[in-house]
Amino acid sequence: MKISRAQKRSLALVAGMFISMIVSLAPAAHSQAPVARGLVTLDGKLVISAGKPPVLKTAKQEYPLTATTTYVLHTLQDNRLGGREIQVQGTLGRGGTFEVSKLFTVRDGKLYRVRYYCETCNIVALEPGRCVCCQQPTELQEIPASSAEPDTVAIP
């Protein structure tokens, strides 16, 4: 069976339209994923109790906290932050939990990023613990969220 020139053009046109449609839908589907997750910001007091997950106590309710990464979870479990006012960004989970993706401390109405630092070795860490070099405990530092220092490594 022979295909005429007109039929070839029609097939090429249909194939081109099909490919264009597929390509145009792909970015839309990808860009909708974050919206579907429903990013939420909550303010409250961080409550840390031994053997229990950290809890954010807001004016309306308490949220058991989980995290998108281990270093965020370890920071939420840092006793030095217990009882402090914090702001978290993330998503509401099952059973009333809140999955934290970003964390800030709040002082005098201003947001601060959290980082851990070894003064001796000049090494920045993402989570509490000992310095990877000298094994001394790292220092909790709060950096104003508005400052963008080149060496500031903080919880995203």
Q: What is the DSSP string of 33-74?
A: HHHHH--EEEEEEEE--TTS--EEE-SS-EEEEEESSHHHHH
Report the alpha-carbon distance of residue 100 to residue 145 in Å, rounded: 17
Report the alpha-carbon distance of residue 65 to residue 86 in Å, rounded: 12
Can you tell me the mean pLDDT for 26-37?
35
The single-letter code of the amino acid at 40 is V
Q: In this predicted structure, what is the pLDDT of residue 147?
A: 75
pLDDT score of 139 more than 50: yes
**Sign of the torsion angle spanned by Cα atoms 20, 25, 30, 34:** positive
- CATH number, span 40-105: 2.40.50.430
- How high is the mean pLDDT of the chain? 81
Which single residue is written with the structure tokens 């809140």?
Answer: 98
The answer to whether the pTM exceeds 0.85 is: no
For the chain, first and last CA: distance in Å?
62
Give 101's pLDDT tier (boundaries 50, 70, 90).
Answer: very high
Which single residue is written with the structure tokens 């022979």?
Answer: 2
Residue count of the chain: 156
Report the alpha-carbon distance of residue 130 to residue 127 in Å, rounded: 9
Domain segments of the chain as ranges: 1-37, 40-105
CB count in 10 Å sphere of residue 51 = 4
Instruction: List Cα–Cα distances, 115 to 40, 71, 96, 112, 145, in angstroms.
Output: 22, 11, 28, 10, 11
Q: In this predicted structure, what is the pLDDT of residue 99?
A: 96
DSSP H stretches of helix in the chain: 5-37, 70-76
